[in-house]
A and B are shown apart, each in its own frame.
Chain A
């Protein structure tokens, strides 16, 4: 079975500060890993994903994440927070075996950006 744990349900940073959102996963097969962002009253938008290849993945809006197999982690970072980054962030895992591609999501982390 696969699972995702996001450490910290709320993270608050100042504008211009480093953003670090933590995600750890559990998977018995090589995972595919995703970060999605959700703005109020909107659906989820993909920020970035890791499937194979380079373990440092760059996404939209200046975000990036690094797949660390030894630590079973896929933390999301951004060097400098903008006010527009305030939203809910979800880490998700899917299996590289089988053909469902269904996503298992973490509980989410709310990012607050203070001026």
Chain B
């Protein structure tokens, strides 16, 4: 079974530029999460989708971050404009159905903002 795919794996940009990350969850997984992991910290949820609807985006900085999940499959996370403090690893995870089901994580995208 293929895992969660993310691209790119690494990205370096200047502050105030824009960037987009892509995630392809495990086939059939209805729930998709984006987490931000700052160096030395645990991951923090940014946004959760159930199929193509947003369940929780309370921690998403909506003035600069946006996300969508077209057709309830792939998802993109965008930052515009980027700030220095956005340097982090962005992790995508997916889950089949029940809240007790395991969340499977992708390898992450490491963003460096200069």
Q: Footprint of B on A, CB under 8 Å?
A: 4, 32, 36, 41-46, 49, 51, 90, 92, 94-96, 98-103, 105-108
Q: Are A100 and B4 in touch, CB under 8 angstroms?
A: no
Q: Are A43 and B105 in touch, CB under 8 angstroms?
A: yes
Q: Within 8 Å CB of A90, what residues of B?
A: 42-43
Q: Among the listed stretches B12-20, B75-83, B96-104, which one makes contact with chain A, having 4 or more residues with CB under 8 Å of it?
A: B96-104
27 A–B pairs (Cβ distance < 8 Å), ordered by A? A32-B99, A41-B107, A42-B108, A43-B93, A43-B107, A44-B105, A46-B102, A46-B104, A49-B100, A92-B42, A95-B99, A98-B99, A99-B50, A99-B55, A99-B99, A100-B99, A101-B103, A102-B33, A102-B48, A102-B56, A103-B35, A103-B45, A103-B103, A105-B44, A106-B42, A107-B42, A108-B42
CA distance A100 to B55 in the complex (A): 7
A-B contacts counted at CB < 8 A amount to 65
Q: Within 8 Å CB of A45, what residues of B?
A: 105
Q: Are B48 and A100 in touch, CB under 8 angstroms?
A: yes
Q: Within 8 Å CB of A101, what residues of B?
A: 31, 95, 98-101, 103
Pick from A32, A43, A94, A98: contact of B108, CB below 8 A: A43
| Smallest Cβ-Cβ distance to B107: which chain A residue | A43
Q: Footprint of A on B, CB under 8 Å?
A: 4, 31, 33, 35, 40-45, 48, 50, 55-56, 91, 93, 95, 98-108, 110
Q: Within 8 Å CB of B35, what residues of A?
A: 103
| Shortest distance from the beta carbon of B9 to any chain A beta carbon, whole Å | 8
Q: Within 8 Å CB of B103, what residues of A?
A: 46, 101, 103
Q: Are B106 and A105 in touch, CB under 8 angstroms?
A: no
Pick from A43, A94, A96, A107: contact of B41, CB below 8 A: A107
Q: Are B45 and A102 in touch, CB under 8 angstroms?
A: yes
| Shortest distance from the beta carbon of B19 to any chain A beta carbon, whole Å | 19
Q: Within 8 Å CB of B93, what residues of A?
A: 43-44
